[in-house]
Amino acid sequence: MKKNVLIIGYGSIGQRHYKILKKLNFFKEIFVLSRRKIGTINKKNLIKNIKDVKYKNIGYVIIASRTEDHKFYIKEIERNFKNLIVIVEKPLLEKFKNIIAKKNQYHVGYNLRFHPIIQYLKEYLRKKKIYFVEIKCTSFLPKWRKNINYIKSNSSGIGGGALLELSHEIDYAQYIFGEILKINFNSVAKISNLKIKKDDNVIVFGKSQKSNFSIYLNIFSHYLERKIIIYTKNLTILSDLINNKILFYKNHKIIKKKIFNVEYNDTYTKQYKNIFLRKKISNFKKDLKFMKLIDNLRNNEKKNK
């Protein structure tokens, strides 16, 4: 018998989850917990309190609320449910907190892990000697969401900023190149004229299990870029996650090219299949450890000031 899913939060990301899940045949019904008035959803499926879905055959939950509310909803789920599969939109928390969550299975929604380029690189580089990796992600925050003033968006507020919003890059760096072992230098700062409360520029140099690396993130660039450049003994590999291609260079020449067909919601759909169909094993302690790494990057910057 199919179970139901609950989406907590109906901002831009909650709406995206809802639209994708409506097209899939995973669930019997989709419930939405939101303080907003939503005219497009049947009233019987709108929830004001998480306790109201306790007897509605919920098997899955997506937490797509403001980042600063994630801790509250995780605790509410632990208090009222057991054996649920929960996706928490990235990042897991606004800052590290030692939460005990044992009754349910939690996964952080780093959907870029399911991008075919990331999957390809993880397998292709498994036994390759890597000298250095450059990861770069730049974009312009005011263009992120249509019809939403970026100043009023969650991305500009308490739970926002480049470090948290673009933590995908740090996550897939560890996913492909192994756990980060050492940070040699980092800067997490607000340097542009964007009207936000958090950082807009992040620089990290460090060493992971497989390679030395640099990560550069900003949200004030008018040039959209999301690239991974990998330097190996015999090749330099340029991966472009915007144009969905990988170029292999040798002696300054392209010797091989791979093009990937990626639809807008593909990574989310693959994420649901891996998590909701129980193909992916969660590790909440590892997710908390990742939040501690994010906190350390912020705290190191404060110490250096």
Which tens digit of pLDDT belongs to each residue from 246-294?
999 999 999 999 999 999 999 999 999 999 877 666 789 999 999 999 9
Q: Which phi and psi angles does 99 have, rounded to 5°?
A: -90, 135
Residue 24 CA, chain-centre distance (Å), reads: 21
Q: What is the mean pLDDT of the segment spanning 87-100?
A: 93
Predicted pLDDT at 304: 47
Predicted pLDDT at 156: 64
All CATH 3.30.360.10 domain ranges in the chain, comma separated: 116-261
Domain 116-261: top CATH class: alpha beta
pTM for this predicted structure = 0.92
Q: Which amino acid is at 72?
A: F
For 269, the token pair is 């759909």
Residue 250, SS3 per DSSP: strand
All CATH 3.40.50.720 domain ranges in the chain, comma separated: 4-109
Which CATH code fits 4-109? 3.40.50.720
For 273, the token pair is 């299949």
Q: Which phi and psi angles does 224 have, rounded to 5°?
A: -85, 125
